[in-house]
Structure 1
Amino acid sequence: MNVIETALPGVLILEPRIFRDARGSFCEIYNERTMAALGLPTNWVQDNFSLSKQYVVRGIHYQVQNTQGKLVRVTHGAVWDVAVDLRQKSPTFGRHIGVELSGENNRMLWIPQGFGHGFVVLSESAGFAYKVTDYYSPAGERTLLWNDPDLAIPWPVTAEQAIVSEKDRQGSSLREAELFP
């Protein structure tokens, strides 16, 4: 597995080795020994999957209780995936990274606890799968406004194109949000 460090310490792009031939392709998505050797979690408590159509924006989500690390990937289609550092004492607080994940490139993104996460679908539709290190906690869930000007995330979708849930439309600004120490 190829590991690419990002501008946010701890957030990693993981590229599994892909074997292609006339039949198609094969890659290993998860191997406990490989993850442990990389210093990543090996005890996942929940797997999630969403199917979304083009221009759907999901996020930016995080939990202040039952905080979660996430290993995210796209099964088919393509998304632009974003992680935002929400640790107030971090030197990269408020900064973000964005990376394209697709069923074709098989890239995964490791997002540790203390980060917000969101994505927008670039293709006609996309299947999005992710593992988390702690259980979902409705009481602890928080949402940042996806297009908060203070975050200045260059989303590859306009506000008019974006399909956003009511919950995500009501997200907090970075200035008003409950964050991590």
Structure 2
Amino acid sequence: MHFRSTSLPGVLLFTPTPHHDERGFFSRTADARTLINAGIDPAGFVQDSQSRSRQGVVRGMHGRTGTGEAKLVRCSHGALFDVVVDARPDSPTFGQRAQFRLDDDHLWSLYLPRGVLHGFQALTETADICYRIDAEHDPRDDVAVRYADPDLAIPWPLPVSLISDRDAAASSWRDAVPHLRRHGSRLTPAP
């Protein structure tokens, strides 16, 4: 397993080496030594979660203020269009986004440091995303920005088939920025 930096500071892409044969494949999905080499404490994750979405569903853009949370995400079934927006006010890439295709062929994992917004769209009939999170969820710190915000201009590849009521009512990026700036001193800076 290897890792590389992305265009957003602290956002890392982990690439395993799947072993395929006539039975299917075997792949390592996490490796303590590789995480340590990337500056991530593998024992720091306190919760694993999984969600399933139908094709076209968008979930996001979600993040946390306060002490926040870091995540290690991967698509265990199907394919996802995954988007990360830097919401760390002191970051040189504040407000910029990066996008990735996560799928069950390449089995990439994406590390999301504290202080970023995250969202995705299911590209296949069903798609499962698995999360490893390093902090217990505190809903008081939730931040949501509208998935179709014109300032973020996220190029969702499919027509959006469904979003949650929470995501439909999310604030604009422009309205979220003052909140992020007020709470920015508590966000963990990018490594």
When normalised by structure 2's length, the TM-score is: 0.90
Q: Does 1:163 align with 2:162?
A: yes
Aligned-residue Cα RMSD (Å) equals 1.2
Contact 1:56/1:164 (8 A) holds in 2: yes
Runs (5+) with no aligned partner, structure 2 = 185-191
Tell me what 1:121 maps to.
122
Tell me what 1:55 maps to.
56
Q: Does 1:21 align with 2:25?
A: no
1:34 Cα offset (Å): 2.1
Contact 2:73/2:129 (8 A) holds in 1: yes
Tell me what 2:188 maps to.
none
Q: Deviations over 1:53-100 (max 9, x none)?
A: 001100111111340111000111000001100011211110000000
- Which secondary structure does the structure 2 equivalent of 1:28 belong to? coil
Q: Specify the code of the residue in structure 2 equivalent to 1:63.
A: R
Contact 2:62/2:145 (8 A) holds in 1: yes
Tell me what 2:31 maps to.
31
Q: Deviations over 1:121-174 (max 9, x none)?
A: 00000011010111111111111111110111111123xx33111100111111
Runs (5+) with no aligned partner, structure 1 = none
Cα distance in 1 for residues equivalent to 2:111 and 2:41:
10
The structure in which a higher percent of residues are strand is 1
1:2 Cα offset (Å): 2.3
1:27 Cα offset (Å): 0.9
When normalised by structure 1's length, the TM-score is: 0.94
Q: How does 1:102-141 map to 2 (within 5 A)?
A: 102-141=103-142
Q: How does 1:140-151 map to 2 (within 5 A)?
A: 140-151=141-152
Contact 2:82/2:100 (8 A) holds in 1: yes
- Identity value in percent: 40
- Which secondary structure does the structure 1 equivalent of 2:147 belong to? coil
Contact 1:66/1:136 (8 A) holds in 2: no
Q: Specify the code of the residue in structure 2 equivalent to 1:36.
A: I
Cα distance in 2 for residues equivalent to 1:153 and 1:60:
10
Contact 1:66/1:135 (8 A) holds in 2: no
Cα distance in 2 for residues equivalent to 1:73 and 1:41:
18
Tell me what 2:70 maps to.
69
